[in-house]
């Protein structure tokens, strides 16, 4: 691979962007928040490989921050999308794929009796809150401290431009700590519309934390006791951990769940699924968008769900993720370097001991991207079902150099 020998086009685009885009770029894809050497502008992707505008090739372990689950430009998804695009996308009404996709989700997701479609994960989490409030006639919503549920004013991690009033009904608890949940319930005088929670703790920049099944079941019990809706934010995890809702293997079903990212393998769509008793309340709220009914993304989502099942994709991701985790562990041990690998293997996160300033992980990822592995120092990575054993071995050959540089600089 020829990596970072040429970044002229990227530099030119960055200079042009700074004149016409606030800050040059915004949100989670702003490369200025990453160490030097990261490209801002991408050209193409195929399978688990991506190319920036200068032609540099990378093995992609970010998968567009989650939406790519089958690999870039998966042939079945692209065929379905192109076929529908040739017929029409944004029209006066939705296509048949809206009904077909809703039916597929109703068959796959155990707690799903109805579906609402939107475009972004923030849309879906916000709609869940609206439905829960409509049903309960309460305003308070419990969320885990530090959790990310979108970029709306009620949940954005950067409070600039928001007001205190927009967050006054959000009450925090600590993930995996039922005592803190009980404290939050007491603080809210039981006037709670919902408890909103992610399948596991994946706060940016921190070690991940798998859910304690006792905690998940405890949330279900408390919601039942106080008449609140349990909302599972499956935007990031959906269909990577389970072919269905992420807590189904624990025997815990939410009342509402929010989905987006991987449902259409990169095509823009978001979903809210819910139980039957909330159908009436879901029909009473008003939500819409000019592009929420676009047919192409729904066709792509139908094809994605079929491919995930037919290609045994979750097992493939687990196998590749386990190979990566075991390889990184062995490399770190060989150099006597203390690391932590947290979260599910399909969504790995790597951190170094005594690295609160992120110097070690920044160096690790910088050395990796120089050699053609696209990793992120503060966000969990993503494995797609297109990552083969050969691809992961290529990544491990690259990370060997990264560990060597950590050893040389921090021993």
Per residue in 353-386, pLDDT tens?
999 999 999 999 999 999 999 999 999 999 999 9
Supply 23's token pair.
């800050």
> Would you list the domain boundaries of the chain?
8-70+312-410, 75-310
Cα dihedral 117→112→174→362 (10° resolution): -50
Q: What is the pLDDT of residue 234?
A: 98
As assigned by CATH, the class of the 75-310 domain is: alpha beta
Would you say residue 45 has pLDDT above 70? yes
pLDDT of residue 253: 98
Q: What does the pLDDT read at residue 411?
A: 83
pLDDT tens for 110-169 read: 999 999 999 999 999 999 999 999 999 999 999 999 999 999 999 999 999 999 999 999
What pLDDT is stored for residue 2 in this prediction? 44
The string of pLDDT tens digits covering residues 271-327 is 999 999 999 999 999 999 999 999 999 999 999 999 999 999 999 999 999 999 999
Say yes or no to pLDDT of 255 above 50: yes
3 falls in which pLDDT band (50, 70, 90)? low
Topology at the third CATH level for domain 8-70+312-410: 3.90.1150
89 has pLDDT over 70: yes
pLDDT the model gives residue 6: 78
Report the pLDDT value the prediction gives residue 5, as an integer from 0 to 100. 62
Predicted local confidence at residue 190, as pLDDT: 82
- Does the pLDDT at position 223 exceed 50? yes
The more confident residue out of 32 and 216 is 216
Q: Is pLDDT above 60 for 1?
A: no
Confirm if 208 and 349 have CB atoms less than 8 A apart: yes
Provide the pLDDT confidence category of residue 7 given band limits of 50, 70 and 90.
confident
Cα–Cα distance between 362 and 227 in angstroms, integer? 45
Torsion from C-alpha of 193, 198, 199, 202, nearest 10 degrees: -160
């Amino acid at each position: 691979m020829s990596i970072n020998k040429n970044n002229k086009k990227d530099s030119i685009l960055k200079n042009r962007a700074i004149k016409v885009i606030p800050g040059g770029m915004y949100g989670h894809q702003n490369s200025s928040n990453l160490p030097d050497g990261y490209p801002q502008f991408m050209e193409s992707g195929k399978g688990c490989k991506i190319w920036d505008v200068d032609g540099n090739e990378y093995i992609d372990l970010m998968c567009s921050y989650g939406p790519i689950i089958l690999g870039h430009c998966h042939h079945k998804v692209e065929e379905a999308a192109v076929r529908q695009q040739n017929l029409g996308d944004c029209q006066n009404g939705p296509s048949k794929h809206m009904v077909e996709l809703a039916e597929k989700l109703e068959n796959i997701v155990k707690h799903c009796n109805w579906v609402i479609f939107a475009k972004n994960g923030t849309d879906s989490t916000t709609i869940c809150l609206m439905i829960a409030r409509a049903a309960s006639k309460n305003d308070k919503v419990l969320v885990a401290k530090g959790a990310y549920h979108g970029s709306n004013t009620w949940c954005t991690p950067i409070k600039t431009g928001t007001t205190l009033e927009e967050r006054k009904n959000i009450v925090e608890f600590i993930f995996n700590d039922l005592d803190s949940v009980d404290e939050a319930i007491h603080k809210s005088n039981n006037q709670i519309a919902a408890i909103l929670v992610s399948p596991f703790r994946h706060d940016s920049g921190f070690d991940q934390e798998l859910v304690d099944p006792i905690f998940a079941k405890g949330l279900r019990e408390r919601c039942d006791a106080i008449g609140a809706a349990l909302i599972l934010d499956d935007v990031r995890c959906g269909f990577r951990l389970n072919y269905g809702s992420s807590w189904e293997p624990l025997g815990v079903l939410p009342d509402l769940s929010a989905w987006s990212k991987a449902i259409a393998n990169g095509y823009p769509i978001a979903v809210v699924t819910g139980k039957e008793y909330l159908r009436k309340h879901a029909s009473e709220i008003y939500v819409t968008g000019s592009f929420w009914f676009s047919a192409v993304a729904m066709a792509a989502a139908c094809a994605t769900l079929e491919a995930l099942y037919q290609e045994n994709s979750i097992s493939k991701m687990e196998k590749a993720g386990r190979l990566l985790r075991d390889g990184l562990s062995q490399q770190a041990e060989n150099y006597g370097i203390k690391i932590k690998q947290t979260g599910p293997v399909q969504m790995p996160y790597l951190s170094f001991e005594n690295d609160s300033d992120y110097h070690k992980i920044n160096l690790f990822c910088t050395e990796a991207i120089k050699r053609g592995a696209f990793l992120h120092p503060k966000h969990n990575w993503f494995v797609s079902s297109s990552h083969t054993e050969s691809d992961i071995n290529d990544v491990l050959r690259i990370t060997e150099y990264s560990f060597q540089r950590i050893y040389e600089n921090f021993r």
